Amino acid sequence: MSATGRRTRLRGRPLLHTSYASELALFDTPAKRTSVGMLLMLAVALPFLLPDEVLQLLAVCCVAAIGAIGLGLVTGYAGQVSLGHAFFLAIGAYTAAAISGDPDGRVIGFGVTNIGVWLPAAGLVAGLAGVLVAPLATRLRGLYLAIVTLGLVFIGQHVFSEWSALTGGAGVGRPAATLEFFGQPLAATGALGTRDQKLYWLMLLFLLIFALAAANLARSRIGRAFTAIRDRDIAAGVIGVNLARYKAIAFAVSSAYAGCAGALLYTVTGFFDPSSFSLLLSVQYIAMVLIGGAGTISGAIAGAFFITLLPRLTREMQAWVPFLSAQPNEVPNVFQVETILYGVLLIVFLLFEPRGLFGIWVRVRNYWKAWPFSY
């Protein structure tokens, strides 16, 4: 039996693994390979099928997915509940905006508009912030940690709304980072496409890179350490997983993802103010991870798309439900329904399908795998 695995694989037996390499492969079955490839082709082709306004929304979805993957790593894989994701998003967003900002403007800016500089910097600074928080995570477990990270959001919100030299102050805000690569604007209407088309492709590319990196991390030694800590941290410690070290790594990677997502998120709208980084944002990211399916990369992506598209869906729903109003001062209106849905969906998924959207997909897949038999 050869150690390479792939060549010895039997046709028509996708689940028969004859080596560790094939068992741990990124796309371990041919069906997975084809379906991901086809999905990707569809995603790349979308700008030719959809109007620009929808593409902009999908670009936001892609960035949100990067952030959700990051939270998924620390909460879904390593099992450390963090309600502080909004804080790390904010750190990334402000690092990027400050580095690429106008040096002569009313807020801090260093004028380095190259995305090759500000994006890694945002990830690095946020990651360092995560490392600083990690010692708390090694001392605290479960709900204690959740409350402490919730405290981070409030402290962060205070700092960001008071430090108006950096953030422009509450209610005013500052421009986001500039999308530019060595002098080439990355998202400007040109011969190749409109701004929104390019924006979507760019964010899709970033999502692909970050998702592949996370999937690879999850199947590495580090990822296995994460899941060991999640499933039983004492047992993990006993078999030789260094808890402090791997919790620190989990927080660092997760915050770095959040930092990059925060840096990219507001380039779509171009402007942001400190009140965006509230507890609600953290709850939305938790909802993305849990509704999508904790402990899976594809689940985090699905959850991010679902939650980000939810406001749009409720607005469409208004046409079908006559008693809903689109005016914010009438009751019941779509904005209320939207907020309630975050809460209700969280409850419904946790009660009836704890594996989230990913779990629903598994059910559908298993049904058709065995069709026409029930199992």
Partner 1 sequence: MTEFLESVLRGLGTGSVYALLALGFVIIYKATRVISFAQPAFMLAGAVLVTYLVGPVGFWLAVLIAALLTAGLALGVERVAVRPMVGRPAFVVAIITLGVDVAVRVVVNGFIGLDVRHVGDPWGLRTVAIPGTGIDLQQRHLGAFLTTAVLIAALFAFFRFTRMGLAMRAAAYDQEAALAQGVSVGAVFALAWGLAGGLAAVAGTFAAAGASVDAGLWLIALTALPVIILGGLDSLPGAVVGGLAVGTIQELAASYQQHAPWLGGNVSVITPYVLMLLVLLVRPYGLFGTREVERV
Interface ranges with partner 1 (CB under 8 A): 81, 136, 139-144, 146-148, 150-152, 154-155, 158-159, 162-163, 234-235, 238, 279, 283, 286, 290, 329, 331-332, 336, 339-340, 342-347, 350-351, 354
Rg (CA), the chain: 22
Residue closer to partner 1, measured from CB, 264 or 283: 283
Residue 123 CB, nearest approach to partner 1 (Å): 24
Question: Minimum distance from CB of 332 to partner 1 (Å)?
Answer: 7
- Nearest alpha-carbon partner for 152 in 278, 260, 66: 278
| Residue 22 per-residue DSSP state | H
> Least distance in Å: CB of 208 to partner 1?
29
CA dihedral 11, 12, 15, 21 (to 10 degrees): 20
* Minimum distance, C-beta of residue 73 to partner 1, in the bound complex (Å): 16
CB 302 within 8 A of CB 317: no
* Shortest distance (Å) from residue 139 CB to partner 1: 5
Q: Toward partner 1, which CB reaches closer, 30 or 354?
A: 354
Report in angstroms how near the CB of residue 86 gets to partner 1 at its nearest: 14
Nearest distance, CB of residue 177 and partner 1, angstroms:
25
By C-beta, is 264 or 334 nearer to partner 1? 334
**What distance in Å separates the CA atoms of residue 55 and residue 59, rounded to the nearest whole number?**
6
147 or 370, CB closer to partner 1?
147
- If residue 270 lies in a helix (H) or strand (E), which one and from where to where? none
Query: Given the complex with partner 1, which of 181 and 335 has the nearer CB atom?
Result: 335
- Least distance in angstroms from the C-beta of 337 to partner 1: 8
Give the type of residue at 115.
I
Measured in residues, the chain has a length of 375
β-bridge partners, 333:
325
Look up tokens 């030694």; give the residue.
Answer: 221
Residue 200 or 358 having the CB closest to partner 1: 358
Q: How far is the CB of 310 from partner 1 (least distance, A)?
A: 13
Establish whether the linkage from the previous residue to 322 is cis, with ω within 30° of 0. no
Instruction: Write the DSSP symbol of residue 9.
Output: P
Rounded to the nearest 5°, which phi and psi values hold at 371? -55, 140
Distance, in Å, from the CA atom of 62 to the CA atom of 305, rounded to the nearest integer, reads: 7
Instruction: Give the nearer residue to partner 1 in terms of CB position, either 124 or 148.
Output: 148
Structure tokens at 328: 């914010």
CA dist 215 → 258, 270, 293, 372 (Å): 16, 30, 15, 33
C-alpha 12 chain-centroid distance = 35
Pick the closer one to partner 1 by CB: 148 or 215. Answer: 148
Q: How far apart are CA 24 and CA 308, in angstroms?
A: 32
DSSP secondary-structure letter at 241?
-
CB atoms within 10 A of CB 89: 32
**Contact between 268 and 196 (Cβ < 8 Å):** no
Is 297 within 8 Å of 214 (Cβ atoms)? Answer: yes
Name which of 109 and 356 has its Cβ closer to partner 1.
356
Q: Please say which residue, 22 or 80, places its beta carbon nearer to partner 1.
A: 80
